[in-house]
Chains A and B, each alone.
Chain A
């Protein structure tokens, strides 16, 4: 196999190179493309896929959000779809529900995996098996996991798994998804169980990077487990904690499958209606694709804000 050396570009006469220049020489775009034709040819395939399946739908959605289609005629309506949506009585409750879920998911879905990871890290034996056990639910398709919760765990009768446990503990039973006040906590519990494994593995990897000497020093100073967590573990993993918090916010704000399966859509008194579900309702039940597109754009802007924070944090870590 012959490896062809790439010939060096001839230097243009009359433009001596600075003796201090250390970076690559400037070349024209056309030159760059010609020099790496094979690479660019492969790149075109990937770019085309992005254009067709990711960027075009996004741009099309933005355009649609400023249009109205009636009787096959499409007209420009400016910000009408947006003002109409903001005046929709479902708009703010859907955001409230979504933020409520996000906050609960941060408290529960974010903290629980961290403490599970700390626990797993403390175990001396059977670490591998325990990790597999914790990770197992991630391998279950989300729809299957949610149906398990819906029909088995959250059965509102006393035959339901959670109600049977509560009854055995002499605690009052719950209507779970059928109680407007319990809808969100119940969805967060199911969601946390489903997704915890991935976060636990990331935390575990991070915990194992903490030098053991720090814990030894803390122990010598008489620090108990809580002080070790507070003064060693949390400071040492703070960047991962911050990044996962951001990812958690972005992921949980797109809440959709949980209401769709656990609450049969909107849930008791619309208590499960999230912004993503409202998009689905506008698009598929209200014959309002333009409204759905406008809601999608609003969500895009909000999530872009969170993502910008995430990108900044990632850059800081780098």
Chain B
């Protein structure tokens, strides 16, 4: 072959190769998840990442055991890294159409998932035949994944907010660990004493970036009896006395009492990193915040306790609740949907199995005894079983959560378009945390305008 011919052949091969690979990329799989030998395959996300060795082992053991019990089902689980706790990653996968057959999402993601047109209506197929404990699952959680009377996801985790406090710092500051703050005035007084310990310790810490500021503003507003949106969900409803009080409390602590530390613009991991290092006296969070402090930020379980969310002048009038669930991709075959439901039932909703396998978790570095998740309705058979198992295998000091559990606060769900609204409200929170001359009225007015605009665009 002469040089030009050789070059020509190489060039044609290159073009052909490129063409084939592009074709391969764009080819839509017609695989309906059923193999020649009649096995149904489902892909599921949120497999624990490699660094979470024990959790990953537990997950893989569950997959093996589940497949042994269901030889006609193949579970292909994938870890998608940050997708399972990072809204932008989730959005990217959803927009790119790369979600798995059975995919994880927050309760706040429902509208986004529906807009993408990728979720399947599973109302007709979820029942106690497909998920044996379905009748025990808290109806409020099912409602959070319901739109227009149709169910789009199976709830697998939930939380509600309370006051998380560091017992060691409480003791050092001369505070009674068994009598945590009940009102905002109590929080201020305790925070002043804790921050007086010096050494960069914040008496109380608060978020103001990465949507977490808006998330906490919402929770604090609920504690006062307020709401972020009007009941019809069409207008913002926080530019009022309660919204002002929420911001005023924080501004007073930050610049009046100097009890919130110097570093602000914190997002989720920032605050927990400080907490793990023993630099935070109090913050509002869910019980699983303590788990993150221990497993990711080198803290200790015995240092942390929880109380109900403080109210303005008395008990809190409400607390924010949220959670997560699994959606089903629209083009799945009925066999795949059934297989997916079976897997979720096994791994997420059966006392003694999967996430509720407390016998297995007890000796591991995984907490048993935290007061949540409470997926099952009060008094239901599944709840009784789950609570008994939890009590029998607790490896954390449950007395640290006793006050939180003994004083339940009414739970209120997250607003529609929660993540977008939280992003807007971050500015109001960052305003009072970074600007001693922040104008609370102006901050709330601007946020109200933005949220109304956002809602108008949605309608």
Interface residues of A (CB under 8 A from B): 1-2, 4, 37-38, 41-42, 44-45, 48, 52, 69-73, 84, 87-90, 155-157, 175, 177-180, 263-270, 280-281, 283-289, 291
A264 with B210: CB separation less than 8 A? yes
Residues on the B chain within 8 Å of A285, using CB: 87-88, 91, 211, 419-420, 423
Residues on the B chain within 8 Å of A73, using CB: 117
Nearest residue (CB) in B for A151 is B263
A89 with B450: CB separation less than 8 A? yes
- Using known A-B contacts A156-B262, A268-B431, A269-B438, determine if residue A287 contacts B15 with beta carbons closer than 8 Å: no
* Closest chain A CB from B137 CB (angstroms): 26
Q: How many A-B residue pairs have CB under 8 A?
A: 139
Q: Considering residues A45, A52, A89, A291, which has the most beta carbons from chain B within 10 angstroms of its beta carbon?
A: A89
* Closest chain A CB from B446 CB (angstroms): 6
A281 with B423: CB separation less than 8 A? yes
A155 with B115: CB separation less than 8 A? no
Residues on the A chain within 8 Å of B384, using CB: none
CA distance A176 to B123 in the complex (A): 52
Residues on the A chain within 8 Å of B423, using CB: 266, 281, 285-286
CA distance A288 to B18 in the complex (A): 33
A287 with B91: CB separation less than 8 A? yes
B435 with A268: CB separation less than 8 A? yes
For B427, give its contact among A88, A177, A270, A287 (CB under 8 Å).
A270
A-B pairs with beta carbons under 8 Å apart, 10 shown: A45-B15, A69-B117, A72-B115, A72-B116, A178-B433, A179-B434, A270-B430, A280-B88, A284-B87, A285-B419
A38 with B210: CB separation less than 8 A? no
Q: Which of B1-38 contact A (CB under 8 A)?
A: 2-4, 7-8, 11-12, 14-15, 18-19, 22
CA distance A263 to B19 in the complex (A): 43
Residues on the B chain within 8 Å of A2, using CB: 2-3
Residues on the A chain within 8 Å of B438, using CB: 269
Nearest residue (CB) in B for A91 is B453
Nearest residue (CB) in A for B452 is A89
CA distance A288 to B456 in the complex (A): 13
A289 with B211: CB separation less than 8 A? no
Residues on the A chain within 8 Å of B183, using CB: none
Residues on the B chain within 8 Å of A175, using CB: 262, 434
Is B417 close to A, CB under 8 A?
yes
CA distance A287 to B431 in the complex (A): 25
Is B398 close to A, CB under 8 A?
no
* Closest chain A CB from B399 CB (angstroms): 36
Nearest residue (CB) in A for B439 is A269
* Closest chain A CB from B66 CB (angstroms): 31
Q: Considering residues A44, A264, A291, which has the most beta carbons from chain B within 10 angstroms of its beta carbon?
A: A264
A288 with B457: CB separation less than 8 A? yes
- Using known A-B contacts A2-B3, A178-B264, A283-B91, determine if residue A266 contacts B209 with beta carbons closer than 8 Å: yes
Q: Which of B184-218 contact A (CB under 8 A)?
A: 200, 209-211
Residues on the A chain within 8 Å of B3, using CB: 1-2
B417 with A287: CB separation less than 8 A? yes
CA distance A263 to B267 in the complex (A): 10
* Closest chain A CB from B107 CB (angstroms): 14
CA distance A289 to B92 in the complex (A): 10
A286 with B7: CB separation less than 8 A? no
B443 with A263: CB separation less than 8 A? no
Residues on the B chain within 8 Å of A89, using CB: 446, 449-450, 453
* Closest chain A CB from B272 CB (angstroms): 14
Residues on the B chain within 8 Å of A265, using CB: 209-210, 267, 426
B457 with A41: CB separation less than 8 A? no
CA distance A286 to B111 in the complex (A): 11
Nearest residue (CB) in B for A4 is B4
Residues on the A chain within 8 Å of B7, using CB: 38
* Closest chain A CB from B253 CB (angstroms): 16
Residues on the B chain within 8 Å of A266, using CB: 209, 423, 426-427, 430
* Closest chain B CB from A92 CB (angstroms): 12
B430 with A268: CB separation less than 8 A? yes
Residues on the A chain within 8 Å of B11, using CB: 37-38, 41-42, 45
B210 with A284: CB separation less than 8 A? no
B91 with A284: CB separation less than 8 A? yes
Nearest residue (CB) in B for A39 is B11
Is B454 close to A, CB under 8 A?
yes
Residues on the A chain within 8 Å of B22, using CB: 48, 52
Is B247 close to A, CB under 8 A?
no
Is B265 close to A, CB under 8 A?
yes
CA distance A296 to B173 in the complex (A): 52
Residues on the A chain within 8 Å of B264, using CB: 156, 178, 268
- Using known A-B contacts A41-B12, A157-B200, A268-B435, determine if residue A286 contacts B454 with beta carbons closer than 8 Å: yes
Is B146 close to A, CB under 8 A?
no
Is B112 close to A, CB under 8 A?
yes
B265 with A41: CB separation less than 8 A? no
Is B78 close to A, CB under 8 A?
no
B265 with A269: CB separation less than 8 A? no
Is B49 close to A, CB under 8 A?
no
- Using known A-B contacts A268-B435, A285-B211, A287-B115, determine if residue A87 contacts B88 with beta carbons closer than 8 Å: no
CA distance A179 to B18 in the complex (A): 51
- Using known A-B contacts A45-B14, A266-B427, determine if residue A178 contacts B450 with beta carbons closer than 8 Å: no
Nearest residue (CB) in B for A85 is B457
* Closest chain A CB from B202 CB (angstroms): 11
